[in-house]
Amino acid sequence: MTASAEKFTRQTLLSVQPLTPNLFTLRTTRDPGFRFGAGQFARLGVTKADGSTVWRAYSMVSSPHDEFLEFFSIVVPNGEFTSELSRLVEGDSLLIDRQAFGYLTLDRFVDGRDLWLLATGTGVAPFLSILQDFEVWEKFERIVLVYSVREAAELAYQELIAGLAQRDYLAEYAHKLQFIPIVTRESHAGALNGRITTLIESGELEGAAGLTLKPEHSRVMLCGNPQMIDDTRQLLKHRGMHLSLSRRPGQVAVETYW
């Protein structure tokens, strides 16, 4: 085995499920030696027709305890990576780096009572992994999953989210979770309408959750559109909430692999 080959494994696609013309999920086999923490991401590689390999980072949707790996992707028009990825079918190969990466993990917070998970689009992926891991349910009293999309058809993984309460190991903790969908470009029953930042500024998001975003009790994870992350961080900073660093624990954690 060459040195370059040792850096990744070749996994097999178990399923590819289109959700909309621009969104799809894919599930692969998992190398027995691949370890990751809930909220981390992997580097995926696809081989192009000319033999070259393109790599991109994708958060795991699956739990660290699952025997498979699952990812959630958008198709970028003429995108070098996603155009290749979206053409793969069951039985095809996908390269996966042997090492997991990322700091959007619960150990970013040393304390806290309420956990807010704020996602746009495919940025919901790491939060689904976190919610399938038992640690988050023990660590926090309240968990608010906020999932913002443009159109209602893009609200993926609704069965998984609703089914968390039915899992045996979460049955007594399910009351801790509140799911708040947001649809920005149309009205949708049961969903808020507007950008995450607008809903924070107006107080509507906190009203829907029945909780207040404040540094004493709130811990916030952000993943998704880079502009949403930057704007939300600024709003939270004005409330005295800062990025959590190893040398200075704070109230906010972000993923910026975009």
* Domain annotation for the chain: domains and CATH numbers: 5-97 (2.40.30.10), 106-255 (3.40.50.80)
| pLDDT value for 2 | 47
- DSSP letter at 95 equals E
Q: CA 210 to CA 47: how far, in whole Å?
A: 48
What are the angstrom distances between the C-alpha of 9 and each of 75, 87, 94, 126, 222? 24, 20, 8, 21, 29
| pLDDT value for 258 | 56
| pLDDT value for 77 | 84
What are the angstrom distances between the C-alpha of 169 and each of 75, 89, 151? 35, 33, 33
The mean pLDDT value for 158-172 works out to 92
Written as six digits, the tokens of 214 are: 């404040």
Q: Binning pLDDT at 50, 70 and 90, where does residue 39 land?
A: very high
The mean pLDDT value for 71-85 works out to 89
| pLDDT value for 226 | 95
Q: Is the pLDDT of residue 6 over 90?
A: no
Q: CA 256 to CA 47: how far, in whole Å?
A: 25
| pLDDT value for 157 | 97
Q: Binning pLDDT at 50, 70 and 90, where does residue 228 land?
A: very high
Tell me if 75 sits within 8 A of 22, measured CB to CB: yes
- Give backbone dihedrals phi and psi of 208, rounded to 5 degrees, phi first: -65, -35
pLDDT above 90 covers a percentage of the chain that reads 86
- Give backbone dihedrals phi and psi of 144, rounded to 5 degrees, phi first: -120, 115
Query: How many CA atoms within 13 Å lie on the side-chain side of 142?
Result: 17
- DSSP letter at 7 equals G
Global pTM value: 0.95
| pLDDT value for 257 | 58
Q: Binning pLDDT at 50, 70 and 90, where does residue 3 land?
A: very low
- Give backbone dihedrals phi and psi of 58, rounded to 5 degrees, phi first: -140, 130
